[in-house]
Amino acid sequence: MARKDTRAAQGNGTIRKKTVTRRGKQYVYWEARVSVGRDPGTGKQIQKSFSGKTQKEVREKLRAAAVAVDNQEYFEPSKLTLGEWLDTWAETYLNSVKPRTVDCYKSNIAQHIKPALGAVRLAALTPVDVQRFYNGLRNKKTGQPLSAKTKKNIHGALHRALEKAVSLGYIRHNPADRPDLPKIQKTEIKPLDDAEIKAFLEAAAGHEYETIYLVTLFTGLREGEVLGLTWDCVDFNAGRLTVKQQLQKQRGSGGVYQLVSTKNGKTRTIAPAQYVMQLLRKRRAAQAEEKLRAGSAWSNPWNLIFTNALGGNLSPQTVYLKFKKLAESIGLPAARFHDLRHSYAVAALRSGDDIKTVQETLGHHTAAFTLDTYAHVTEQMKQESAARMDSFITGLQERKKA
């Protein structure tokens, strides 16, 4: 049983004094109601109510809401929990994301974010909550803190999901902005030197994946990019390669292979050495012979350059493991397939290619990133430049004396 005492409030909305009887006892409180907009479907006004112990308290809330409505700044906090929003986001708003990245996002949400923060209301999540979450991330088996790289990946999923919530009006600000995350220690790059490259070329001669390894070594393509090359990417007349995609397998057992965009999502055109184009011509002839031998069993729907005996795509894992065996055979057990890419970059810089050309060939976002990655090489080049200048100056001095 409740009684109402409605009074006109100063400004928009109304204030009511309400009396409620519960278990034979009366309780008095004040309630304000204000229109915050109209339903876009029905055109009816949307009402928002505020309650408090005193008339002054609810009047202040009413005035604040009225001002926000007048300034078009009124915000209705979402009642979703973070877990509910993450589920919606992961299933609805990742259409433009690569399949493997989607798998990574969903895994981090299920394993780390939802167990710790899933029950928190989306609108109530604070930057401090997020920071404490990052600080407390541990490996569930060992209890050790997660690596800086893993924390960065988890942050990437949470920040992106909350950014979409901001754009949709569920929350006003992103509480995952500017957290204090540990710095990722860069892995030292170990390109092959001239002697190691020579030894590798000798060891790879006649290997079933020789052409893949050589094309990678002399173009700097990523493993997925070289395995995702298709014949329409090759312009033999102009001596150009178009790098527009990469071969990628979805995570988990039974994951399917797909051709997806490059790492930075951009297409690039490179002009490799003529030696590389000759390798590709030989590969085209070899594939034609493979197709004849396979007969009706041949199937190469993507028109891939590097295929198995029946035209199917190669397994990146197999290509990598066989590279490791080759590297071990020449005394380089720690070498990685990616070191072929680094070896190309170092060789290109030392041969005099400008940093912008190397950056574009490698597909880096900026020349600054390329400079930072290969800083030790550019430092060596500076020293070599200084030595050449010393030699030039010495020559001038000797001619002057003569």
* Helix or strand holding residue 33 (H, E): strand 25-38
Q: Considering only CA atoms, which of 189, 247, 225 is closest in space to residue 363?
A: 225
d(CA 225, CA 357): 18
CATH topology of domain 194-382: hpI Integrase; Chain A (1.10.443)
Residue extent(s) of CATH 1.10.150.130 domains in the chain: 82-167
| Average pLDDT, integer, range 12-33 | 80
d(CA 18, CA 52): 10
- Sequence-ordered list of residues with C-beta below 8 angstroms from that of 282, at least 6 positions apart, any chain: 211
- Sequence-ordered list of residues with C-beta below 8 angstroms from that of 70, at least 6 positions apart, any chain: none
Residue extent(s) of CATH 1.10.443.10 domains in the chain: 194-382
d(CA 110, CA 106): 6
CB 233 within 8 A of CB 242: yes
**Residue 133 pLDDT more than 70?**
yes
Residue with tokens 């989306």: 122
**Residue 6 pLDDT more than 80?**
no
pLDDT of residue 1: 46
Q: 10-14, 45-49, 172-176: which range is least confident on average?
A: 10-14
Q: 76-80, 156-160, 196-200: which range is least confident on average?
A: 76-80
- Which one has a higher pLDDT value, 377 or 132? 132
pLDDT of residue 253: 60
CATH topology of domain 82-167: DNA polymerase; domain 1 (1.10.150)
Q: Nearest 5°: CA angle at 161, between 159 and 163?
A: 65
| Average pLDDT, integer, range 20-47 | 74
What would the pLDDT profile of 92-101 be if each residue is shown by its tens digit?
999 988 888 9
Hey, how many other C-beta atoms are within 10 angstroms of the C-beta on 344? 23
Task: Give the CA distances from residue 312 to residues 27, 241, 245, 254, 329, in Å, rounded to whole numbers and listed in that order.
Answer: 76, 21, 17, 16, 28
pLDDT of residue 36: 65
Read off φ and ψ for residue 359, nearest 5 degrees: -60, -45
Query: Regarding beta strands 240-243 and 234-235, do their DSSP bridges make them parallel or antiparallel, or are they unpaired?
Result: antiparallel
Residue type, 242: T
pLDDT tier, 8 (very low <50, low <70, confident <90, very high otherwise): very low
d(CA 153, CA 216): 28
pLDDT tier, 9 (very low <50, low <70, confident <90, very high otherwise): very low
pLDDT of residue 11: 43
Average pLDDT over the chain reads: 88
What would the pLDDT profile of 233-261 be if each residue is shown by its tens digit?
999 999 999 999 999 988 766 678 999 99
pLDDT of residue 120: 95
Task: Give the CA distances from residue 76 to residues 11, 52, 65, 175, 310, in Å, rounded to whole numbers and listed in that order.
Answer: 20, 18, 10, 17, 59
pTM as predicted: 0.71
Q: Considering only CA atoms, which of 40, 37, 115, 48 is closest in space to residue 71?
A: 37
- Which one has a higher pLDDT value, 131 or 383? 131
Residue type, 280: L
Task: Give the CA distances from residue 28 to residues 56, 61, 291, in Å, rounded to whole numbers and listed in that order.
Answer: 14, 18, 87
What would the pLDDT profile of 222-231 be if each residue is shown by its tens digit?
999 999 999 9
Q: Which residues pair with 275 in a beta bridge?
A: none
pLDDT of residue 203: 97
pLDDT tier, 76 (very low <50, low <70, confident <90, very high otherwise): low
- Which one has a higher pLDDT value, 36 or 323? 323
CB 221 within 8 A of CB 295: no
- Which one has a higher pLDDT value, 139 or 73? 139
| Average pLDDT, integer, range 157-179 | 93
pLDDT tier, 21 (very low <50, low <70, confident <90, very high otherwise): confident
